Amino acid sequence: MSRTMVRVETIPALRRTLGEWRLRDERIALVPTMGNLHAGHLQLVRRAREIGDRVVVSIFVNPTQFGEGEDFGAYPRTLEEDAQALKGAGADLLFSPSVAEVYRRPQEQLSLIHLPGISEMLCGASRPGHFDGVATVVCKLFNMVQPGLAVFGEKDFQQLLVIRRMTEDLDLPVEIVGVPTVREKDGLAMSSRNAYLRPEERKIAPNLHRILREVADKVRAGEGNLVGLKSIARAELTELGFRPDYLEIRRAADLAPPKPEDRRLVVLAAAHLGRARLIDNLPFRR
């Protein structure tokens, strides 16, 4: 059911509304997004609605997490359509600040948060500095909103672990809640960047999830040659027309290379298909 939703663009206006809710001891749930919302985002909002008293959704295309040559300028911006979808999903407040509101210094002068190790592997190796930008903007949003909890999708598995680590290391009083990946009927993980796929590429794209499932199934069945398994999977992606950045099997808790005794694992991949860079993952137990 559609509900009244406050829309603010500045930090002072945001804090005035939040202050009224805090006086009533209402627990605030934050859903940070970059907009161009799809059903996966709206599932995060619905989960926040279930576990929080008030739901704040931020829409901010964050320049500090885009590298040189990436799609910051071309990233889809659909604010009015997003606002209507958020009202229907039960958001109480939409915070859509400008870049100048969030970053009051030139980008080269900004204080950044860097998490050694976990932010430098996988997507962090392919996109140097990306997770510094993610951790910094999420920390800033936590300070602006001061939520009791924040909801993130598990599709961005490495991002979720980076945010958990950052929250723990900086003693931020925010509960981090992960929500399982929302998929299209053919298995493709929902993503704003799926819009970059041409029709023929869209038909190929679900193979990324299929190959991850097959890798996980083989590990569960007892396959111990993880190096060979990963090599075969990357070769199949290439044969299908993907340009893989990586396909890895890691320990789910911290993305370290798994030891034989580790049971909770995750297979993760990032691969280019045409203009789109697709990421996906599949947690599993062996």
175 and 196 in a common domain? no
Residues 274, 197 contacting (CB under 8 angstroms): yes
pLDDT band at residue 1, thresholds of 50, 70 and 90? very low
| Contact between 54 and 92 (Cβ < 8 Å) | yes
Instruction: Give the pLDDT mean for 48-53.
Output: 97
Average pLDDT over residues 169-196: 96
Q: Average pLDDT, whole number, for the chain?
A: 96
pTM of the predicted model as reported, rounded to 2 decimal places: 0.95
Task: Report the CATH number at residue 154.
Answer: 3.40.50.620
Q: Please indicate, yes or no, if residue 52 is contained in any of the structural domains.
A: yes
Same-domain status, 22 and 107: yes
Specify the residue for token string 């040189």.
68
- The Cα-based distances of 110 to 8, 127, 173 in angstroms read 24, 19, 24
Burial 33-58 (b: 16+ CB within 10 A, else e): bbbbbbebbbbbbbbbbeebebbbbb
The first and second tokens of residue 177, run together, are: 């809640």
185 in a structural domain: no
Mean pLDDT across 66-72: 85
What torsion, rounded to 10 degrees, do the Cα atoms 184, 188, 193, 198 define? Answer: -100
pLDDT at 2: 47
3 pLDDT band (50/70/90 cuts)? low
One domain, residues 87 and 156: yes
Determine the average pLDDT of the residues in 132-141.
98
> Does residue 186 belong to any structural domain of this protein?
no
Choice among 38, 41, 114, 209 that is catalytic: 41
Statement to judge: residues 61 and 158 lie in one domain = yes
Read off the pLDDT of each residue in 162-179 and give the average, rounded to a whole number.
98
Our answer to whether residue 38 is catalytic in this structure is no
Indicate whether 190 pLDDT > 90.
yes
Q: Pairing mode, if any, of strands 243-251 and 28-33? A: unpaired
pLDDT of 70 reads: 85
Q: Are residues 42 and 132 in the same domain?
A: yes
Average pLDDT over residues 116-130: 96
Residue 163 is assigned to a structural domain of this protein: yes
Report how far apart the first and last C-alpha atoms of the chain are (Å, whole number).
42
In a domain, 187, yes or no: no
My answer on whether 56 and 170 are in the same domain is yes
If one counts the domains in the chain, the total is 2
For residue 133, what pLDDT is reported? 97
What separation in angstroms does the CA of 104 have from each of 97, 99, 100, 101, 111? 12, 8, 6, 6, 11
Q: Report pLDDT digits (tens) over 227-275.
A: 999 999 999 999 999 999 999 999 999 999 999 999 999 999 999 999 9
Domain that holds residue 22: 6-179
17 and 72 fall within a common domain: yes
- We report the CATH number of the domain holding residue 253 as 3.30.1300.10
The pLDDT of residue 69 = 80
